[in-house]
Amino acid sequence: MPLIGDDGAEHALRSQVMGRLVAGVAHDIKNPLNAMSLQIALLGDKLEGTADAGPAAGHLAALRDQIGRVNDVLRRLVDVTDPAAPLGYTDLGALLADVGTLFSYEARRRRIDLGVEAPAGSVRTSCDPARVGRLVLGLYGRALALTPDGGRFAARAEAKKGEATIAIEHATGDPDDDLGYETEVLVAGAAALGGSFERARDDRQTERLVLTLPRNDRE
């Protein structure tokens, strides 16, 4: 019996194409950002020594900051949707932090009490970075979708002996049948990478999801 049905396969296809689209869109946005950044530098240069230099400096700095913000969002989006981490490891902490930031708008909109504990650099896995990126994105998205508005959501990356884990604990609302295949995908995906995926419900109100992957403790 296939792991996922036709519907799931369509989702997978769409997800893959979306990843490529994101990379293209990011490039298309970065070029205007670059032009803006250069124009601001040029403007600052031209104003230097004039009476307007002082008052304009604050505005120019604010514009530079905004360009930096847009660039940061893009960077996270591309890193998460099209991961290509170097040297054969994936920094689960950095990945979880980026995913958390990208989903933060949805969390704010739905008043979800969000907590992400993701120390960068200390939790690394030796698994294929692209597959790990997809699994973490799917895990986080699934858990957030199941969290009811105003509910609690806590995610944490942690290193334990030979394992690197991402644990998510979240309040549960009504079960969504459409998300059932995602659990199967996570279980199969983690196993294929030499790890595991476990799901536990304590009191019918809290769900605990743990993705465990082989750890890379190379410095």
Closest-CA residue to 129 (of 171, 91, 179): 91
SS3 state at 118: coil
Based on CB atoms, which residue is closest to another protein, 26 or 210? 26
Q: Which stretch binds another protein (CB under 8 A): 2-10, 22-30, 119-127, 132-140?
A: 22-30
Length of the chain as a residue count: 219
Binding segment toward another protein, per CB under 8 A, in 78-86, 104-112, 135-143, 177-185:
78-86
Residue 69 beta carbon to another protein: minimum distance, rounded to whole angstroms = 11
Distance of alpha carbon 83 from the chain centroid? 10
Rounded distance between C-alpha atoms, residue 159 and residue 210, angstroms? 12
Q: Which x/- pattern over 26-45 shows residues binding another protein (rule: CB under 8 A)?
A: xx--xxxxxxxxxx-xx--x
| Spatial distance between the Cα atoms of 4 and 112, rounded to a whole number of angstroms | 30
Helix (H, G, I), strand (E, B) or coil at 135: helix
* CB nearer to another protein: pick between 26 and 193: 26
Q: Helix (H, G, I), strand (E, B), or coil: what is residue 177?
A: helix
CB 53 within 8 A of CB 45: no
Closest contact distance (angstroms) between CB of 47 and another protein is: 12
CA distance 144 to 153: 7
Q: Which is nearer to another protein, 127 or 211 (CB)?
A: 127
Tell me: does residue 211 bind another protein (CB under 8 A). no
Residues found near another protein in the complex (CB under 8 A): 23, 26-27, 30-39, 41-42, 45, 67, 71, 75, 78, 84, 86-87
